[in-house]
Chains A and B, each alone.
Chain A
Amino acid sequence: GIQVEQSPPDLILQEGANSTLRCNFSDSVNNLQWFHQNPWGQLINLFYIPSGTKQNGRLSATTVATERYSLLYISSSQTTDSGVYFCAASAVKETSGSRLTFGEGTQLTVNP
């Protein structure tokens, strides 16, 4: 099946700093999503982005499908941005359903 790799595994920032999280995937995708998992375990949808660029406030994401990677940008980070960020992808050649394969996540800590 598809492989999804995220980097870095851990990231520590000072409040106000910018950061870039990377997601590499091993196959053509029909679904790529970025999630933020809050301290209570809820997966919050950030972006649905199998290709192209999207922006939502201080967050933006870019997926270059032909080169099989996606980037999540966080600008002017805040302490509330802390948590685990997951990238998840589904391969075009999956026979059914678009099951998501998750990366190992990036643990982000934003210090005041």
Chain B
Amino acid sequence: GAGVSQTPSNKVTEKGKYVELRCDPISGHTALYWYRQSLGQGPEFLIYFQGTGAADDSGLPNDRFFAVRPEGSVSTLKIQRTERGDSAVYLCASSYGQGSEQYFGPGTRLTVT
């Protein structure tokens, strides 16, 4: 079946602009996660959704970052007033639920100039 998909695959934006990154999870997966990976490092957790609600947003670095999942499927990660330090690959993962195997999408490479 189809895996996790993310759009766009690449996004270049200017410092101070607003961006939205989209994640489409595997059908039937109720849990959805966002991670961020900087060059040469492992991915780091940002936020977790169970259904429509953000059950754990403790990994979001500051209030410029926000994510939604209004219908319990597709999720959008929103970044306001982007900074050069936000440049990274943003990864989305989904799973059947707590403790279950997570499957990752191909990521969105964000570059802030």
**CB atoms of B98 and A98 under 8 A apart:** yes
Residues 42-94 of A contacting B (Cβ, < 8 Å)? 42-43, 45, 48, 50, 86, 88, 90
Q: Which among B33, B45, B99, B101 is the interface contact of A45 at CB below 8 angstroms?
A: B101
Residues 39-79 of B contacting A (Cβ, < 8 Å)? 41-45, 48, 50, 55-56, 59
Give, as a whole number of angstroms, the nearest-CB distance from A52 to chain B.
14
Q: Give the chain B neighbours of A98 by CB distance below 8 A.
A: 31, 95, 98-100, 102
Tier of interface size on chain B = 20 to 34
**CB atoms of B55 and A45 under 8 A apart:** no
**CB atoms of A102 and B50 under 8 A apart:** no
- Is A97 engaged at the interface, CB distance under 8 Å to the other chain? yes
Interface size for A (C-beta < 8 A) is 25
- Is B110 engaged at the interface, CB distance under 8 Å to the other chain? no
**CB atoms of A31 and B100 under 8 A apart:** yes
- Is B107 engaged at the interface, CB distance under 8 Å to the other chain? yes
Q: Give the chain A neighbours of B59 by CB distance below 8 A.
A: 99
Q: Which among B33, B41, B101, B106 is the interface contact of A41 at CB below 8 angstroms?
A: B106
Chain B residue nearest to A104 (CB atoms) is B42
Q: Which among A50, A97, A103, A105 is the interface contact of B48 at CB below 8 angstroms?
A: A97
**CB atoms of A96 and B50 under 8 A apart:** yes
Q: Which among B41, B45, B91, B101 is the interface contact of A43 at CB below 8 angstroms?
A: B91
Chain B residue nearest to A31 (CB atoms) is B99
Q: A30-B98, A88-B42 are in contact. List 11 more A-B contacts (CB 8 A).
A: A31-B101, A35-B104, A41-B109, A97-B56, A99-B48, A100-B33, A100-B45, A100-B93, A102-B43, A104-B42, A105-B42
B residues contacting A by CB (< 8 A) are 31, 33, 35, 37, 41-45, 48, 50, 55-56, 59, 89, 91, 93, 95, 98-104, 106-107, 109
Listed by A's residue number, 25 A-B pairs whose Cβ atoms lie within 8 Å are A30-B99, A31-B99, A31-B100, A31-B101, A33-B101, A35-B104, A42-B104, A42-B106, A43-B91, A86-B42, A86-B43, A88-B42, A95-B56, A96-B48, A96-B50, A96-B55, A96-B56, A96-B98, A97-B33, A97-B98, A99-B45, A100-B93, A100-B102, A102-B43, A105-B42
